[in-house]
Amino acid sequence: MATKRRGMLVKNTSERPVVIEMNTRLLRLGPGEERLITAEEVRDPALRESLQIRSVSIVRPSTLEEEQSLKRLLEEEQRAE
């Protein structure tokens, strides 16, 4: 049985701000800041590179409620553009 891919909570582990240009959006994280990303964004090459060089790290998988809230927020931001 296949499991559903989930989003993640990521954290800037650097002492400097980090900017990640993903295909879906620009992610800006201050030192120590945490942000949710979608399941699709987890596979983004720019994010994966940041994970490999350890400028960001995965804190934990997102909850179902967090995923739904993030999707609504991203949809609202897209409509506002």
d(CA 64, CA 80): 25
pLDDT, position 2? 56
Give me the residue spans of the domains in the chain: 8-80
Residue 21 DSSP class: E
Tens-binned pLDDT, residue by residue, of the chain (81 aa): 556 788 999 999 989 999 999 999 999 999 999 999 999 999 999 999 999 988 899 999 999 999 999 999 999 988 887
Sign of dihedral through CA atoms 25, 45, 54, 6? Answer: positive
pLDDT, position 19? 95
Q: Which amino acid is at 39?
A: A
